[in-house]
Chains A and B, each alone.
Chain A
């Protein structure tokens, strides 16, 4: 049984207070949950739940409310977000459908925790899944399914680049990807570093800002890149050398990039699409040079996945297919400033010109990371922070 969001209340409106509302005692749910919660908020659901029909439905018959969970900048960034366009366009094509964005503060963890506690999941689809998430889901939830496999049932799945497919179980379908690289200021860095080794040398002393690999996506990608390139046995020594060369490790991408823009150091770990922003905001291009170490960039594909207990599987899949359409792929790339995951995206001239692709994208597969990544990050963190 699924919980719809309660009727939106204004600030002074009614409140779901201390009393949990009494709901029915679990309908004949098709899921195999033993701890299915019966009590839910009594609400007037505007959705007409479809019988779990196995026949594919025609477009016209799609109706109801689709709840899409994602990270907040996908729908509410001050710069640009794909979210509003996706909602508007999808609703225009399916007049009886309403798309509701949900952005819980803890993002994916929120749903993993809900599943672990046996609380019903109140969303149909998650946009923004990465390999780390999948590993965490499988480690923490074991055989409790959070997402269902989808891949092959999508009509546009053939357009997804094989190199980006990162989920062996086909739960997560890639919709865009970023490449982690260096961004540097040409005026302050005479010759750009071209190898990892360069960064430990004197000319680059105190000149690099990276992020915390424990909690930042870019920080973790950069760390994994060093493990990938230097090897499991060498990377800690390499970081010791970086530390001796006065690398600055800040908390989040925002902290790091702000410090970079303020001129605290002339190099920062960021995305290879950096110049797209620089162009949009009329910034000085010489301060936004993209550097690929060893001609590599660490690929960080993002995927979408359908929640296993959704009662709207057809609607969720229709939306996923829409996300992979040529038009949506172009819009997502432009507004999320990431590369499309398909081979048919319509990209703007601006994007073609300013988004840089590394010669050799590298990344760890799910299987390579599983059972290792926690160990790698933990050892790194202890190495850096020991007092």
Chain B
């Protein structure tokens, strides 16, 4: 907000009665009063600004597409909706039930029992279980052990979450392939072959690759925030370790685990490039259909499918938020138990068993996470005749001599970092504002909270289409066409995609804060914002830092909207460059660019985490 506006605001405040708070003070309208006024109204202003950004960049574009669901030939019609709901290809055995054709039930159950939606939900369910199973041990190791490099590894857990699917697919196909390093190793050990590619299992493992780190990250944060004294109390009262974990520790961790699970389910329900690249078309999901319908410009059917996807996701989110709200308010001290060393002081059987478990887990992590990424890096330095640096040379040449219509790696790196920082700066206040407004409780706040999660719940294909038609093409207003494109729109779109993560990281601890602290600071004359900045946010610093890391990460990894909004030829980012470097018969340049992306993002996350850590310790 500019100074002029603030001054304007202070002038305006002379004309309003403000509860007598300034009455009787004999001060002229100084900038200080302007500041006071701003401070008093900051939350409201932020709230309005957030709503405005969301309306212009998210709701309006998406609704222009959703409206196609009920518009056939310019007329309002529910025909397409009815058609899809009663189509057994989409809804399996539900379709005859919804359509009232009970006689067809037997046939449908025999031919297409699941339908596309059923299969997609089944796939997402399995992916969620795999992600949680792979993420939880990671959270345990990261929060309960102390070892060299722990903080760096913790910073890097977010990395898989942001990698472009093109890169992940390349890495997976190379590593898990029939002739890939994994099978070479298994063959060397005499363990036979693994044929993972082009099966449902491949999709599930890839989804776990993406989402287990998310589960691990949110759970680690919760685990580092538990109150160990409660466990000790339970133990001293005679509970055995398992009982103490189940009754005391688990309830403190469950909300975080479920947050991770919910987000994972929603993401994997709507994933599609990975499905096609690693599973094949026979395992197509709803989003694959949405994509191809949009390619064919069949908007109405695509819109109906997308609306159904969104409704399902939001219902799930709402149910979860109701649960989260019931968990909140258990105001406890942060007092985690001391960390263990990887090499125990004495080798008791239980210590031995636990270390063995950690070792097995490390092997699994090496296979699922390190393997594919390392394979991609190896691809970038492997030519037809062995070791080569020609692909990196290609990147340098493109940077030096590329034509204006060609993609330069340096520009992509610079844009990615710039957009990432800008998106973080926009998404943090947006997310914190929404978190504050929705944790105030009151009727309907959970509905508002669920609605605030909408950007996660809408198909990426539809958001992209909406942005193209609503922003890039623009709208005609009073004879002028308003169009939005380029860096400003990209940053805003990234912030819209990222702020739900800030909300989910900040809202739960915020609602757990003892209200009396805020109330006493208010009673002592602090404004709402002052209380937020000085009392509440420091108490939830770790949540804010985690939200910031996510916001940056989402921006770095975002592809769908970026590619559409990069209307100028110079606003492309690293993921876009990776895609453009995929060439005929050679993945070299793309894997080299992917390796650059990997290096740049890894470094950024470590830096952000260190900065965040400093901020947490205040």
**Interface residues of A, Cβ cutoff 8 Å to B:** 5-6, 8-11, 15-20, 22-23, 25, 35, 37-41, 72-73, 75-79, 83-84, 87, 100-103, 105-106, 109-110, 112-114, 116-117, 119, 136, 140, 212, 214-215, 243, 248-252, 254-255, 257-259, 261-264, 277-278, 281-283, 337, 374, 381-382, 384-387
Q: How far is the CB of B594 from chain A (nearest CB, A)?
A: 13
Bound CA span A112–B468, Å:
12
Contact A11 B418 (CB under 8 A): yes
Task: Judge whether B295 and A17 touch: CB under 8 Å.
Answer: no
Known: A113-B473, A281-B586. A262 touches B297 (CB 8 A): no
CB distance from B273 to the nearest CB of A (A): 7
Q: What 0/1 pattern do residues 131 to 171 of B give for CB contact below 8 A with A?
A: 00000000000000000000000000000000000000110
Q: Would you call B178 an interface residue if the criterion is a C-beta within 8 Å of the partner chain's C-beta atoms? A: yes
Q: What band does the interface of chain B fall in when counting residues whose beta carbon is under 8 Å from A?
A: 35 or more
CB distance from A219 to the nearest CB of B (A): 9
Chain A CB within 8 A of B174 CB = yes
The answer to whether B481 and A73 have CB atoms under 8 Å apart is no
Binding site for A on B (CB under 8 A): 56, 89, 92, 111-116, 118-119, 169-170, 173-174, 177-180, 197-198, 273, 276-277, 280-284, 288, 291-292, 295-297, 384-385, 394, 403-407, 411, 414-415, 418, 468-469, 473-474, 476-477, 479-488, 563-564, 566-571, 580-590
B486 touches A9 (CB 8 A): yes
Top 5 A-B pairs ranked by shortest CB distance? Answer: A251-B276, A78-B583, A20-B482, A39-B480, A39-B481
Contact A385 B281 (CB under 8 A): yes
Answer whether A243 and B282 are a contact pair too, CB < 8 Å, given A78-B581, A248-B198: yes
**A109: shortest Cβ distance to chain B, in Å?**
7
- Asked if A262 and B174 sit within 8 Å, CB to CB, the answer is yes
Query: Is there contact, CB below 8 Å, between A38 and B480?
Result: yes
Given A281-B586, A381-B292, A386-B112, A25 and B479 contact (CB-CB distance below 8 Å):
yes
CB-based contact A385/B481 at 8 Å: no
- Asked if A337 contacts B89 (CB within 8 A), the reply is no
Instruction: Return the contact of B586 from the options A19, A78, A105, A386 (Cβ within 8 A).
Output: A78
Residue of B nearest to A284 (CB): B384
Quick check: A16 and B169 within 8 Å, CB to CB?
no
- If A8-B570, A387-B115 touch, whether A215 touches B291 (CB-CB below 8 Å) is yes
Are B282 and A262 within 8 A (Cβ)?
Answer: no
CB proximity of A11 to chain B, nearest CB, Å: 6
Known: A73-B584, A76-B406. A262 touches B173 (CB 8 A): yes
| A252 and B276 in contact, given A105-B563, A282-B384 (Cβ under 8 angstroms) | yes
Taken together as a complex, chains A and B put the C-alpha atoms of A102 and B124 apart, in Å, by 38
Choose among A16, A100, A374 the residue that contacts B405 (Cβ–Cβ < 8 A).
A100
Beyond known contacts A22-B480, A277-B584, A387-B115: 16 more, CB 8 A cutoff:
A8-B404, A15-B488, A16-B485, A84-B403, A214-B296, A249-B280, A249-B282, A250-B198, A250-B277, A252-B277, A255-B169, A258-B170, A262-B179, A262-B180, A263-B178, A277-B585
Q: Which residues of A contact B112 (CB under 8 A)?
A: 386-387
CA distance A93 to B113 in the complex (A): 65
* Whole-angstrom CA separation of A132 from B119 in the bound complex: 31
Residue from the list B115, B173, B487, B580 in contact with A258, Cβ < 8 A = B173
Tell me, in angstroms, the Cα distance from A22 to B481 when the chains sit together: 8
Q: Which of A20, A73, A112, A263 contacts B297 (CB 8 A)?
A: A112
Given known pairs A109-B295, A262-B179, the reply for A18 and B276 (CB within 8 Å) is: no
Cα A285 to Cα B277 with chains together (Å): 26
B488 touches A249 (CB 8 A): no
Q: Which residues of A contact B571 (CB under 8 A)?
A: 11
Q: Are A251 and B273 in contact (CB under 8 A)?
A: yes
Shortest distance from the beta carbon of B524 to any chain A beta carbon, whole Å? 40
Closest to A281 in B: B384
5 A-B residue pairings within 8 Å (CB atoms): A8-B404, A18-B56, A259-B177, A281-B586, A384-B282
Tell me if A18 and B563 are in contact (CB < 8 A).
no
B488 and A384 within 8 A (CB): no
Taking the closest CB of chain B, its distance from the CB of A37, in whole angstroms, is 5
Q: Shortest beta-carbon distance, B462 to chain A, in Å? A: 14
Q: What CA separation (Å) do A133 and B487 show in the bound complex?
A: 31
**Which residue on chain A has the smallest CB distance to residue B480?**
A39
Q: A236 CB to closest chain B CB, in angstroms?
A: 14
CB-nearest residue of chain B to A214: B292
Q: Are B281 and A251 in contact (CB under 8 A)?
A: yes
Bound form: Cα–Cα A283–B571 in Å? 36
Residues on A with C-beta less than 8 A from B296 are 136, 214, 374
Residues of A within 8 A of B589 (CB): 78
Residues of A near B297 (CB, < 8 A) are: 109, 112-113, 116, 136, 140
Judging by beta carbons under 8 Å apart, are B468 and A11 in contact?
Answer: no
